[in-house]
Amino acid sequence: MFSSIISAVISGVSCIPVKVEADVSNGLPLFSMVGYLSSRVKEAQERVRTALKNTGFSFPARRITVNLSPADIRKEGTGFDLPIAAALLCAFGSLEAEQVRDVCMVGELSLNGEVKGVQGILPIVDTAAKAGCRLCIIPRENLKETEFLDNIPILGVGSLRELLECAGRPDWGAVKNPPKKWEYQEEKPEEDLSDIFGQEAAKRAAVIAAAGFHNLLLIGSRGAGKTMIASRIPGIFPGLSREEGMEVSGIYSAAGLLSSTKPVLKKRPFRAPHHTISPTALAGGGRIPRPGEITLAHKGVLFLDELPEFSRMALEVLRQPLEAHKICISRLNGTYEFPSHFLLVAAMNPCPCGYYPDRNRCSCTEGEVARYLGRISSPLLDRFDLCTEVKDVPSQQLWRRERGKTSLEIRREVQRVHEIQKARYGEEKICFNGSLGGRETEKYCQMDREGERLLKKAYEKMNLSVRGYHKILKTARTIADLDKEELIREPHISEAVFYRTLDDKYRK
């Protein structure tokens, strides 16, 4: 007897539907599984056999063949255990074919028949809904991850016995999740921007970066507070919208990084890899491509501390995703596309000792300084919208201990600017000023005469590239939004130009 069950396989951070077919026929006793399977999927043969036996079912002494189609896509993971067992039960006659028609299943089986959780539930359920399935059956352990999905009925089961009990009910007794309101509880961040004394220019740059999603480079002497400022940027970001949260949660679900305490991400991710990270770990990949730090920072912040200490190959990996907001990884069995729209924040010392250009304290030779700064290519530096210097805090500011705006106050200001951009770009496929392309920049970044005159002068005097010209214009657009101005004026252009001149100071 032949039977078929719908399941799915994770491919990168997306999902591909898979049909699990089972056939039981006369012949020499045999249990065979085919369909381009990894070793973990092949092991399902013994797990399923033992789980069915311990649940009270006996394997007939017949020829059993299980096929996972399409056969040209490699099957990975342990989530095929449950659909294989259900397909066999249907072929044995314990389940009716009509009961499992257009039903998607996924889950790992233990030897006693319990259904255990698996990775990638969010993209699997979303794929099942898009494929037209009428029901999705998943492990009860993963049920909390799906509380915000309301596009398909979802049933959580804890064992094979429970699966059979639910099969006797109309439509398995599953109902759609009621639409749940996406709520982000505004809370005071543990690390507050007001804890940093002085450094007003650097804190202003951080606010502009968060408001418009502009890449930021912090450069200055060691111990001046570069890392402190960068680590507080997530605290001034508003929470993720429902659409953004489900997209980011889907990536973390596919990577197996969601926890039972936080099954859905509502805060923007903050990733801070060590400078010894390999290009593959940063960009993603491997024999079976998985998301790297770039993708895990999607819709959030990627912080690279001690930027020149990263390998040249790792840094150059950043160039394409910073412009295209995606990264493509090619392997023999296909091409994988990972989203990578992130805010890049980097910090660096100006020389190996960290005191250049203060020659009273810097002991580095000109050659050492040049080699150190030369580790970062000009094309990569050109992709930073903002570059600001973080100097040592004067003693009077340190002892005065005057606090500025709190992260919570700044977050509300950033939220207002985000709402302005959302309304402005409602018809475009962009959300932030930092994501504007050339055509959109000319359309939405309108200047007054004085601002246009200043920008033309800066373009000629600074020998800017076209990319640099557009980045100044996009940064000025965010500064104008912070000032509640519809038209970009000369002070906005002046401030944006200032944040493009600092890197030349150290590279001369």
Per-residue model confidence as pLDDT tens digits over 52-97 = 999 988 888 889 999 999 988 889 888 999 999 999 999 988 888 8
d(CA 416, CA 380): 30
Query: Average pLDDT, stretch 411-419?
Result: 95
Would you state the pLDDT for residue 398? Answer: 59
With beta carbons less than 8 A apart as the criterion, state whether 81 and 51 touch. Answer: yes
What are the distances in angstroms from CA 115 to CA 51, 80, 84, 167, 480? 10, 11, 13, 16, 55
Radius of gyration, alpha carbons of the chain: 28
pLDDT digits (tens, 9 = 90+) for 321-357: 998 899 988 877 778 889 999 999 999 998 898 888 7
Residue 114 tokens, joined = 């319990």
Residue 237: is its pLDDT beyond 80? yes
Q: What H or E segment, with its residue span, contains residue 261?
A: none
The phi and psi torsions of 379 (rounded to 5 degrees) equal -60, -35
What is the number of residues in the chain? Answer: 508
Would you state the pLDDT for residue 310? Answer: 95
Query: Average pLDDT, stretch 383-402?
Result: 77
In words, the CATH class of domain 2-173 is alpha beta
d(CA 217, CA 194): 20
Would you state the pLDDT for residue 487? Answer: 94
Query: Average pLDDT, stretch 206-214?
Result: 96
What is the band of 318 on the pLDDT scale with cuts at 50, 70, 90?
A: very high
Residue 446: is its pLDDT beyond 70? yes
Domain boundary assignment for the chain: 2-173, 193-427
Instruction: Considering only residues 30 and 301, tell me which one the structure prediction assigns the higher pLDDT.
Output: 301
Would you state the pLDDT for residue 462? Answer: 87
Query: Average pLDDT, stretch 277-297?
Result: 90
248: Cβ–Cβ under 8 A, 6 or more apart, which residues?
240, 265, 268, 269, 298, 299, 300
d(CA 108, CA 85): 10
With beta carbons less than 8 A apart as the criterion, state whether 111 and 129 touch. Answer: no
CB hemisphere CA count around 75 (13 angstroms): 27
d(CA 273, CA 276): 8
pLDDT digits (tens, 9 = 90+) for 185-200: 666 677 888 888 778 8
Instruction: Considering only residues 174 and 368, tell me which one the structure prediction assigns the higher pLDDT.
Output: 368
pLDDT digits (tens, 9 = 90+) for 458-490: 998 888 889 889 999 999 999 999 999 999 999
d(CA 76, CA 288): 9
Model-level pTM? 0.90
Looking at the DSSP bridge assignments, the partners of residue 9 are 16
Would you state the pLDDT for residue 425? Answer: 92
pLDDT digits (tens, 9 = 90+) for 290-300: 899 999 999 99
What is the band of 395 on the pLDDT scale with cuts at 50, 70, 90?
A: low
Would you state the pLDDT for residue 501? Answer: 73
d(CA 45, CA 51): 10
Closest CA to 302 of 405, 240, 180, 209: 209
CATH label, 193-427, candidates 3.40.50.300, 3.40.50.2300, 1.10.150.120, 3.40.50.720: 3.40.50.300
Q: What H or E segment, with its residue span, contains residue 343?
A: strand 343-348
d(CA 125, CA 135): 9
| 193-427 has the same fold as 2-173 | no
284: Cβ–Cβ under 8 A, 6 or more apart, which residues?
290, 291, 292, 294, 295, 327, 329, 336, 338
What is the band of 153 on the pLDDT scale with cuts at 50, 70, 90?
A: very high
Residue 394: is its pLDDT beyond 70? no
The phi and psi torsions of 135 (rounded to 5 degrees) equal -160, 145
Buried b (16+ CB within 10 A) or exposed e, 140-165: bbbbebbebbeebbbbbbbbbebbbe
pLDDT digits (tens, 9 = 90+) for 7-57: 999 988 889 999 999 999 888 888 999 999 988 899 999 999 999 999 988
Residue 148: is its pLDDT beyond 80? yes
d(CA 501, CA 508): 12
What is the band of 252 on the pLDDT scale with cuts at 50, 70, 90?
A: very high
